[in-house]
Structure 1
């Protein structure tokens, strides 16, 4: 089994690397990697329903969709990600893939266990969530390892008002979490922990031979640009959903209802106690066809005489009502 340690902490590149290796590797792979702060959503989730949109926007936290199913997770440099790529069959075996990870953590003197469908726990608290994706006869299994993650950001980035979105997409399930570092008998750096896990899973791996080949890195970088950095993949691939928000604006109360599919607004309805000279149905029609994205909506509304429909309401105030 080939061992790989990714140096980049770019979430789009790292997720693209997984997909590239899944489809092009010539041997089984075990890979360790970390992401700079990012929200990673499951393949079948409605992205906007999983995130605290204001929290991630204000902090510049990217949101990226992965190949596998399951729930949304928050990554930072205190979280270690591991990936197995198996060329030998399409069976989904969560226990089998996580067994060496459990053994590596246990070897540090931490009692841990497999629990539920896909979690690894310490004293009943989750430190690892796992997911899988099958491509042809190959399996991609990956998981998180909360080592010394910022739990406050984890909670903040994923917090969202459940009344805003109505859809049939997979929801993330909140569960108590813990960091591995809090249970170690002695302090340990996250990089040393990564070295320990790598040595336990791939004992023959040479520290100087863990990088991607140039063609692999180039293929992953190209895929990151064409898929993992795009609106269409990260937001547009969400299942259809309905959005509702009521907000007080300088022009009165606005109750916004949106029907969204493929990340694009199909229909909009703006209710409330606002005043306007012209029929708001014209404004609602102008919103149809726009992406459910702040910049796209601001551009869409840029040429509209908004005060004719919503007296006292500016573009910024209306856009805020739509998220």
Structure 2
């Protein structure tokens, strides 16, 4: 087995790293890594329905989609991620417990009563510290999990908070869980760096060998290419969302406005405005102009800026109208 401590904290790069290792290495791999503040959404999720878009923008939180299914999770430097990549994929697929046992053993060694619970979680006193997900590729298995060590719980809660009634579709919805940080349950204080060392040593002892691997120039170049072409793109992180319908309603000085959207692969297919507002021109002109546009703030803003909004929505500003779309 190869052992990797990926020191990058770039979420786009790190998710690309997992795919690169899975598809280009024959060896079994164990990797530890951390991300700068970000939300990682599951492969089958509607990104916009999982995030608090305004909070994410205001706090410079990156949003990235992963290969595996499951729900959206918040990462920051107080959260440690672990990844197993193994050749016997079919044998271990959906066996989440097997991969959490070494982590639980480390925690028990720190006098923490951690348990595997539900389908894919590790808990302490009934509160979640780890969620796990898997992805299968050509007989190989990628299993990865989070470990909340000293995460910012305010960001974790606020960044994932969204009004679910705005969205209707077949995408996988995240399940809210009570969470806690590992550091709160330690008898003696420990840094996350020491915790990382402890886990790596335990895994090496369990699986044998001491093949610490560092990325070479070719690896980095390939990962950066995958980052640029896939993981940092709107098309992957937002556009790859399943088909969904979006509705929102707001009351402005100029009246009540309801918005209905049908969106496929991030592209607006249908747009309807309803309400008790007054208009000099027919709003269908704006509706038609929005069809084929990405459900993305800059794109929608660009369309709205091409119209004199006051002529279509009396006493309602372009900024007001833009708020309806998210």
TM-score (norm 2): 0.96
Shift of 1:302: 2.2
Q: Residue 113 of structure 2 aligns to a residue in which SS?
A: coil
Q: Aligned to 1:277, which of 280, 288, 296?
A: 280
Distance 1:301 1:20 in 2: 40
For the Cα contact (< 8 Å) 2:12–2:227, is it kept in 1? yes
Equivalences for 1:14-93 in 2 at 5 Å?
Answer: 14-91=14-91, 92=93, 93=95
Shift of 1:202: 1.3
Q: Deviations over 1:97-123 (max 9, x none)?
A: 211111122122211111111001111
Q: Residue 131 of structure 2 aligns to a residue in which SS?
A: strand
Shift of 1:206: 5.9
Runs of at least 5 residues in structure 1 that lack an aligned partner in the other structure: none
RMSD: 1.4
Distance 1:152 1:223 in 2: 32
Q: Which piece of structure 1 moves more, 94-103 or 63-72? A: 94-103
Q: Residue 164 of structure 2 aligns to a residue in which SS?
A: coil
For the Cα contact (< 8 Å) 1:104–1:201, is it kept in 2? no
Shift of 1:65: 0.4
For the Cα contact (< 8 Å) 2:204–2:210, is it kept in 1? no
Q: Which piece of structure 1 moves more, 30-39 or 196-205? A: 196-205
Pick closer, same or farther for the CA change 1:139–1:236 going to 2, 3 Å.
Answer: same
Partner of 2:308: 305
For the Cα contact (< 8 Å) 1:3–1:205, is it kept in 2? no
Runs of at least 5 residues in structure 2 that lack an aligned partner in the other structure: none
Q: Deviations over 1:109-161 (max 9, x none)?
A: 21111111100111111100000000011100000000011111111000111
Q: Residue 80 of structure 1 aligns to a residue in which SS?
A: strand
TM-score (norm 1): 0.96
Q: Residue 165 of structure 2 aligns to a residue in which SS?
A: coil
Distance 1:124 1:302 in 2: 51
1:186 aligns with 2:188: yes
For the Cα contact (< 8 Å) 1:119–1:126, is it kept in 2? yes
